[in-house]
Structure 1
Amino acid sequence: MSNYKTNPKFNRKAIQVGAAQQLVANKVKLIETEQVRIEDVHGRIIAQDIIAPHPYPFFRRSGMDGYAVRSADISTASSDQKVQLAIIDEIPCGYSSQKEIVEGTAARIMTGAEVPFGADAVVMLEATELCEVEGKPYVVFKRPTTQGANITPVGLEVSEGDLLVKKGALITAGVISVLATFGIHQVPVFRKPQVGIFATGTELLGIEEELEPGKIRNSNSYMLQSLVREAGGEPHLLGAIVDELELAEQKLKEALSTYDVVITTGGVSVGDYDIMGDLVRQDEVEMLFNKVTMRPGSVTTAAFIQNKLLFALSGNPGACFVGFELFVRPALQLMQASERPYLQRWTAFLGSDFSKVNNFTRFVRGKVEIKNGQVFAHPAKVDESSAMVTIKDSDCLIIIPPDKKGLQAGDAVEILKLDR
């Protein structure tokens, strides 16, 4: 059996989560960019600042159905002294009038249509009447209007040269609306980081295999596949590696030469058969960290090999999940210059007592509830590192600091909001 004092596998130096995240960030390099058609960019991260090529609105726009007029022409209008203006045009959306509104004239106009030259106000349809004078159509006004009324001026929302979308922004429906409005149909985005995913351990079965004594199905790989997609990456399942150092090393080198990031799950604890703990201590490997002051997942490991990041996550589902959210997700986001690479930190009230104490910071899976305008975070009933089912019901990680005697319901806590 291995000896605790002589085997370096058992002598790990634990570092704080923030320090570990910074070590990863220091190794991240921006990924290449590509042009993608607008219909395919939802969920991608924009790769450069997008500047407005023209003002918006591009023309003076009517805010309602009505009549385009010169406000001076109806300044004296009242119920007792009605003003009549000759209707010289009808302007639907998409049509630019060639007629100028001069003294004594008006034009019928639709919502969103371009206001004709000479007009400085639009009067709503309901405030007017129609009549005929010598067989010609006239519009009647019973009250005055103000200059600029119901007209959206050029550049009200955006001036030419304004910043439309900042580099690193996540492309959502609102961003796509802006891009389309300005005719940006080929969008510069960061290439999706290609992520290789391995599982290690002779105890693993394929998900289609029947259960055997002492065996478990390889569920972590599929969870990681989904998490990688949520983080903006492109996952590649590479199967399982048995606990043989030479075979693991060969497969890992092949993956590192092919993919931008490699994740393994399992094989990082301190047992004699935990292969990743041995592999990341080899001479050509730059170890970033192999222990973090957190629960679950204290043995989460990161290394830099062949100028690529390798993350060796715990084989326990809960610990694997937390390790990904704290370290892998930010790395994939930073590779794309994301504006928000780390999980958002909120303040909440603890929804129920939490009595577990630990000398490491604990990241407890939980569920957010908004009640009477306040945020409550309810810890999962089962939060062991090996617990799997509670992952699906969690939308936050509740931060439980070390050296606590337990927390009571109603205590203020910080949470990390999971992006779902």
Structure 2
Amino acid sequence: MNIQTLKEASDCLLNLAKPETQAIEHILLQDAFERILAEDITAKIPVPSFAKSAYDGYALRQADTAAASPEHPVTLDVTEVIPAGSVPTYPITEGKAARIMTGAPVPEGADAIIMHERTSFTENTVTLTAPVTSANIIPPGEDVAAETLLVPKGKILTASDLALIAGQGIAEIGVYKKLSIGLISTGSELLNTGSPLEYGKIYNTNPYLLGGYIQKHHMTANYLNTVSDDLDSLCRAVLDALKTNDVVITTGGVSAGDFDYMPEVIRRIGGDLLFHRLKFKPGGAMLGAFKDGKVILGLSGNPGAAATGLLCVGFPFMRKLSGRSDITFSQTTAYLGVDFKKSSPVTRILKGHSDFKNGMLYFTPLSNQHNGSVSSMSDCDLLAIIPAGSKPLAAGDKLEVYIL
């Protein structure tokens, strides 16, 4: 085990992610919003599948209007009225026109639509005083051509994706079953919400912070036990969680204290320890392990550090395992909004929020960066990566940031 950096740990887990092993379920299209598509969706039919009118007006032949002028108007006989959804009865021949509604099929022989407000008309005729030079016909396939890849496998389905699929008449699609993430909190100091507060104890917030991020990323968070610092209890809890979850995440017990038992838990249950205590902060006090084909992530018990470890190391793996094609957060460059006066001997991850000034993205660090603070994640929509060995930074310096 010689994994020390954030990238090495992330790459190690990514190599273990096998999305092809994830179950696929077929669900109704109406239930598929923000699910992960498990198959390419290709257009089998063009949209629209027929030439249709762009306006309410008259379908006609442009050649019949070529000589039209105010002095010499042209009058055409109206053969029928074509509402949207109906089929034309008659072709358009010389001297003929059809009253047509928006979206209705264009009759054979017609090569243009004239808006009704640009004509004079009766029930049986339409008169024009200028040549028709614009077709105003929506051709087949204008929106979607046949054989077009509509939505690729691995995409989070949006409202527009569902509409494109619906336009093909598809009522049911295959999506990846949501990953089940088991959350175990460790620590004899922890109390569950709803319990009376005891001196020296704290309420357990990690399941709600981490669980919220997990659900936001289209996975299921299972809030499991809060386990005291007892080796046998911890071993049982992890083994039980592995039976019913795709990934198990623990918080606490991964540092170097007398009651930091998680490395020993991995050894006792027969797991393979992949890495432990990485060189980044906050969140480097974490471990990764593998047991029975599943990953166990041991995160810091401090909420801010646990969230950072989950986002930067855990989520690329979990997103890949869940079938997503976009396995990493979007990255960009931002300008530091204020001075940051600390050096960074190891890679430092700063939590912050985005600001836009003069069209440029600025990163403003949150005032509370403490490992143990839940509030350190409040309003955090950017993470800035400060490379190891960096000196204090000045406002205006460029940073690489992850967009959460």
> Which range, TM-score by smaller chain?
over 0.9
| Among candidates 185, 191, 206, match of residue 205 of structure 1 | 191
**1:142 partner letter:** T
Q: Give the equivalent residue in structure 2 for 1:94.
A: 85
Report the equivalent of 2:300.
314
Q: Which stretches of structure 1, 4 residues or more, deviate above 3 A after TM superposition?
A: none
Instruction: Say whether 1:401 aligns with 2:387.
Output: yes
The residue matched to 1:310 in structure 2 has which SS? strand
Aligned residue pair count: 402
* Counterparts of 1:278 and 1:101, CA distance in 2: 84
| Secondary structure class of the residue paired with 1:393 | coil
Other-structure match for 2:374 = 388
**Post-superposition shift, 1:13?**
5.5
2:347 aligned residue: 361
2:368 aligned partner, one-letter code: V
Structure 1 residue 28 corresponds to structure 2 residue 17:
yes
Displacement, 1:79?
A: 2.1
Residue equivalent to 1:83: 74
- For residue 197 of structure 1, report the CA deviation from its aligned partner: 0.7
Q: How does 1:260-271 map to 2 (within 5 A)?
A: 260-271=246-257
Match of 2:289 in 1: 303
1:374 CA displacement: 0.8
Superposed CA RMSD in Å reads: 1.5
Superposed displacement of residue 40, structure 1: 1.2
1:414 to 392, 400, 404: 400
Separation of aligned partners in 2, 1:96 and 1:17: 63
2:125 aligns with: 138
Deviation, structure 1 residue 324: 1.2
SS of the aligned residue for 2:309 comes to helix
Matches within 5 A, 1:136-285: 137-146=124-133, 149-282=135-268, 284-285=270-271
> Could you tell me how far 1:100 is from its partner in structure 2?
1.1
8 Å contact from structure 1 (residues 270, 277) kept in 2: no
Aligned residue identity for 1:145: V
Distance 2:270 2:244 in 1: 18
Q: Deviations over 1:213-246 (max 9, x none)?
A: 2211110011122111112211111121111112
Residues 340-351 of structure 1: pairs in structure 2 closer than 5 A: 340-351=326-337
The two structures have a TM-score, normalised by structure 2, of 0.96
Residue 42 of structure 1 corresponds to: 33
- 1:405 is displaced (CA, Å) by 1.8
1:65 aligns with 2:56: yes
* Aligned-partner Cα distance in 2 for 1:279–1:383: 30
* Contact 1:353–1:408 (8 Å) recurs in 2: yes
With 377-386 and 88-97 compared, the bigger mean Cα shift is at: 88-97
1:74 paired with 2:65, answer yes
**Using the alignment, how far apart are the partners of 1:117 and 1:367 within structure 2?**
59
> How far did 1:277 drift?
2.7
Alignment partners' CA distance in 2, 1:14 and 1:348: 29
> Any stretches of 5+ residues in structure 1 without a counterpart?
1-11
User: Where do 5+ consecutive residues of structure 2 fail to align?
Assistant: none
Contact 1:347 1:412 in 2 (8 A): yes
Aligned residue in 2 for 1:119: 110
Letter in 2 for 1:56: V
**One-letter amino acid of the counterpart of residue 150, structure 1:** N
